[in-house]
Amino acid sequence: MRMRLQRGQALILIALAFLGLVAFIGLTVDAGILFIQIGHLRRAVDAAGLAAASQYLSTTTESQLIATMKEFLELNGIDPEAASLDPKVCNLSPPSLPQFPGLHDPSLCQENNPWDYDRKLIRVKAELTVNFAFLPVIGLRSVNIKAETIAEAASLDLVLVIDTSQSMAIDSGDFPDCQDPLIHDPPVCQPFEEVRDSAKRFVNQMSFPYDHVSIVNFDVEGYLPQSLTDDKAQILDVIDDLRLGEQSVPDSDDPAGHLSTSIASGLDQAAEALENNGRDTSLWVVVLLSDGAANQARHPETLEYICPGSVGEPTWIKPYCADGDGDTPATRHTYDDDLYDTNDAAMDLADLLGCYQYINDDQSGYCEDFLDNYQPGGLALDGFEALIFTIGMGDKMINGTCDPYARTCYEDLGERVLRYIAAVGDDGNPLSDLCDGKPQKTNCGNYYFAETAMDLDPVFSDIAKRVYTRITH
C-alpha cells in the first residue's frame, strides 16, 4: 500500500515537473517571438521614417507620405494593416510646403522645441499585437508592442550659383539689346531666360521655411544679390532681377580682367554666403551652373587678375589665361606659382567648399594640401563640407575654343573642371571621381550635362531629390 502511494506521489511530481518544463519552454519560445517582433518593428519603423523623410518634398501629398511608410513597413516584414501606424509632422500654415494637415503635431514645431528654426521632422509610431504560442495555456494570449522614431529630412542651406556671362545670350544674337527694357520687356536673352525660369522652378521645389536659399551670379566678378533666406518670394524676385554682364573684348596686351566667366569668384561668394548665414545643423549645398570654361579669376593674395598664359604669346591663343601646362586638374599649381591660372583658382575654391574639416585624417591629394597651405599667411583652413553639384550646359563645355600653340590644349576643359568640382563636392575627396573614365556629356556623380537650357528641369529635379536624411532618435 505504501509502495503504491509513493509511486502515485512520484507520478504527480513528474507531471508537475513536466508542466513546469513545458511552461519554461513555452516562456522561452514566446519570449523569443516577442523580442524578434520587437526588433522587426523597430527596424521597420526606422526604415519607414527614413523613407518618409526622403519623400518630404514640396510636391508630396499626405496620402503619398503614408503610403511610403506602409510600403517600408511591409518590406521589413511588418503587415502595415496589422500595425497601428501613427505618423506626425509639424504642419506649417501656407504658403509653407509641403502640407500635411492631418498629421500635425505642435510638439514638433519650433515654438515647442529648443532650436530656433523649423526642422523637417517626422515622428513615426507603430503598435503591433504579438500572439503567443504557448502562454495562452496560462491565459496570456498576446501583448501589444510599440516602436517610435523621429526621422529628419535635412534642412538645406542652398546656394544657387548661376553663370550670367555674355555667352548666356548667344542664342539671341542681339546682346545687350535683348535685356534692354526699352527694347524688350521682359528680356529675351536666350538661353538665359530659360535658365532663369528653370532656376525659379528649382527654388519652388524647396520646402520653406525649413530650407534657406541664397543666389549668387558671376561674370567678370562674383556677386551675392541674395544671402540665405527662407523668403521664397524675395528669392524669386532676385532671380527675376538678374542681368547678364557685358563682356569686354580682350585688348592686344592683356586679356586679364576683360573675360567674363569667373567660376572662382562665384564659388567664393557661395562660401561667403554659407560662412555668414549657414546653419550648423543644416545640410550645406552648392549648385553651380555654367556654360563655359573658367577664364577669369583674381589672385587670392594680391587680388590682381590672373592671366599667366598671355605673357609672350599672341593674343589669339585660346583658352585665354591658361597656364600652358595642360590646363587639367592633374597639373594644378598652388597660388604662389607663376603658372597659377583661372582653373587652379576655381578648383581651390571648390576644395574650400567641399573638403571636410581639418581634423579629418582621411583627406588626401590637393584637398589636404589646400587645407594646409592655401590660405595666404600659411594658416590651416577647415573645409566647409558642402555638397556640391555642377551643371555644364551647352556645347562649349566640351568644344571650347582651343589653339594648341606651344602647349597642350583641351577643348573639354570646361567639363573637366566642373567634374573636378563635383568630385570634391561628392565626398570631400577630389581623387574619388565618379566621372573618371566616363564619356563626355555624361551625368556622373554630382556632375550633370545639359545639352540646352530646355534640359535643365530634369537635372534640377534630380538634384532636389538627392537630399541626405538621418535618424535623430
| Helix runs in 278-341, H state only | none
Handedness of CA 321, 378, 288, 462 (dihedral sign): positive
Say how far apart CA 315 and CA 39 lie, in whole Å: 71
> Grid coordinates standing for 345?
583658382
- Of 295, 327, 320, 292, nearest to 397 by C-alpha is 292
**Residue 232 half-sphere exposure, CB side, CA atoms within 13 Å?**
18
Fold held by 156-471: Rossmann fold (3.40.50)
Write out the DSSP string of 376-421: TTS--------EEEEEEESGGGTS-----SSS---TTHHHHHHHHH
Query: Which alpha helices (H) appear in 242-320, and where do they start and end?
Result: 263-277
If we measure between CA atoms, which residue out of 147, 138, 151 comes closest to residue 52?
A: 151
CA dist., res. 258 & res. 363, Å (int): 36
Residue 222: band (very low, low, confident or very high) from pLDDT cuts 50, 70, 90: very high
Tell me: cis bond preceding 319? Omega within 30 of 0 counts: yes
**Which DSSP string do the residues of 196-249 spell out, in sequence order?**
HHHHHHHHHTS-TTTSEEEEEEESSSEEEEEEEES-HHHHHHHHHH--PPPPPP
Burial of 385 (0-12, 13-18, 19+ CB in 10 A): middle
Q: What is the pLDDT of residues 132-160, one digit of tens each?
A: 777 777 777 888 889 999 888 778 999 99
Least confident of 22-26, 118-122, 469-473: 469-473
Phi and psi (nearest 5°) for 385? 60, 30
Which residue would you say has higher pLDDT here, 54 or 65? 65
Instruction: State the average pLDDT for the chain.
Output: 81
Q: Is the pLDDT of residue 95 over 90?
A: no
Distance, in Å, from the CA atom of 291 to the CA atom of 452, rounded to the nearest integer, reads 10
Bigger pLDDT: 63 vs 32 = 63
C-alpha cell at 435: 566621372
List pLDDT tens digits, range 438-461.
999 999 999 999 999 999 999 999
| 367-388 tens-digit pLDDT | 555 555 555 544 446 678 899 9
The span from the CA of 198 to the CA of 163, in Å, is: 13
The residues spanned by each domain of the chain are 2-153, 156-471
| % of the chain surpassing 70 pLDDT | 77
Most confident of 298-307, 359-368, 409-418: 409-418
For the chain, the first-to-last Cα distance in angstroms comes to: 70
Collapsed DSSP state (helix, strand, coil) of residue 282 = coil
- The count of other CB atoms within 10 Å of the CB of residue 36 is 12
Sole residue written with cell 565618379: 434
